[in-house]
Amino acid sequence: MPDLGVVYRLSVEDFFPGGLPYSEGRQIAVWAAAAGADALHVTAGHYRSLPSAQIVLPPMRFPDATFLDFAADVKRHVGVPVIAVGRLGDPATAAEAVASGKADFIALGRTLVAEPQWVDKVRRGAPIRRCLACNTCINEMRGGARIGCVVNGTAGRESLFAGRRGPRGERIAVLGAGPAGLTYASLVGEDNSVTVFERKAQAGGAFRYAGKAPMFQDVETDETSLARYIRDMVAACEANGVEFRYATDPTVVPELLAPFDRIVLATGAEYRFGSGPLVEWLLDRSIARAPGIARLFAWPALRDWLYYRARRGTAERFAHLLQPGRRVTVIGDAARAGKSKQAIASAFEAALLDQ
């Protein structure tokens, strides 16, 4: 292809006995460059990789910049630009990958599914919506579904949101700083005056406990991935002028809500049968991660029961907040206990579609 730039993408290590070892992967990269490839895009992994095929899209337990050292080594052996890929969505990690000379370019996969505005936001120094590396996007696609994302409720249905606008010029109280409340506040913060009330001393809600469970979606959990997401969502809210009031429960002091035009209930779900304290106790002490118990917590039937049947939405507890002239919007698990993807998607719908 003399008139076209050719980027040759290759996996340089298969991670299974009998598969391609790195020494051979690097040789292929060298041959490809010698044969005229204009750039090399270096990844790793194979559908037969061990311990699992998930490594092709390194899930949250894997470190940032998972394959960068492969790219750096290939770069030492070729004279064409090298593109690195794989968990490079942390802006500092991405910048360092290029600044250190390990790669000439970085490629982003899941990061751009979670945050299509990544390039623009990073250029402006604005906080980003982090990909969790939960692999729900790819796992659902492999199951035949269209693409979707746990943290980006518009992914795969962008046209539904195109040209639509949510509330403007309102004073909005969001009750609950879990993933749904933070998502809603981050999206409406710029065009409204928004206060988030959180009963606990810190943000995170259900994600603080999800981080302590053995599995998140279909991957092994890593608490820092969820904590980093929460931290940047809070930062995104604050950058859009959202005020946070922690350790404050307006249902106990309803006067706090008097100045607001709209109350958004993002109060999550509660466990039935008084089992909430026990589940939180198990998670807080990392007992759910202990061998044996972790297997029990990873059992699909138990996980489904914990998500859907053992919990119920809390919205009805707040019926007394209904007042003439005040709008009440219910999002996330507060409406119906379920999984994070649906909870966050409902926050996008409430924030961006006409009310």
Residues that bind ligand SF4 (CB under 6 A): 110, 113-114, 131-137, 149-151
Residue 186 interface partner, choices ligand SF4, ligand FMN, none, CB cut-off 5-8 Å depending on type: none
**226 near 211, Cβ under 8 Å?**
yes
Min. distance of Cβ 123 from ligand FMN in angstroms?
A: 18
Cα(72)–Cα(290) distance, rounded to whole angstroms?
A: 37
Nearer to ligand SF4, 39 or 90 (CB): 90
Min. distance of Cβ 246 from ligand SF4 in angstroms?
A: 26
**196 near 243, Cβ under 8 Å?**
yes
Provide the sign of the torsion angle of the four alpha carbons 26, 31, 32, 36, taken in this order: positive
Residue 348 half-sphere exposure, CB side, CA atoms within 13 Å? 21
Cα(204)–Cα(246) distance, rounded to whole angstroms?
A: 11
Nearest residue to ligand FMN by CB is: 109
Residue 87 interface partner, choices ligand SF4, ligand FMN, none, CB cut-off 5-8 Å depending on type: ligand FMN
How buried is 114 (Cβ within 10 angstroms: 0-12 exposed, 13-18 middle, 19+ buried)? buried
Min. distance of Cβ 137 from ligand FMN in angstroms?
A: 5
Residue 43 interface partner, choices ligand FMN, ligand SF4, none, CB cut-off 5-8 Å depending on type: ligand FMN
**10 near 45, Cβ under 8 Å?**
no
Min. distance of Cβ 205 from ligand SF4 in angstroms?
A: 17
Residue 151 interface partner, choices ligand SF4, ligand FMN, none, CB cut-off 5-8 Å depending on type: ligand SF4
Min. distance of Cβ 139 from ligand SF4 in angstroms?
A: 8
List contacts with ligand FMN (CB under 6 A).
Answer: 43, 57, 85-88, 108-111, 113, 137-138, 141, 147
Residue 210 interface partner, choices ligand SF4, ligand FMN, none, CB cut-off 5-8 Å depending on type: none
Min. distance of Cβ 98 from ligand SF4 in angstroms?
A: 22
Cα(322)–Cα(331) distance, rounded to whole angstroms?
A: 15
Closest CA to 332 of 145, 185, 123: 185
Cα(342)–Cα(153) distance, rounded to whole angstroms?
A: 8
Residue 260 half-sphere exposure, CB side, CA atoms within 13 Å? 25
Tokens of 87: 């968990």
Nearer to ligand SF4, 145 or 278 (CB): 145
Residue 195 interface partner, choices ligand FMN, ligand SF4, none, CB cut-off 5-8 Å depending on type: none
Nearer to ligand FMN, 71 or 334 (CB): 71
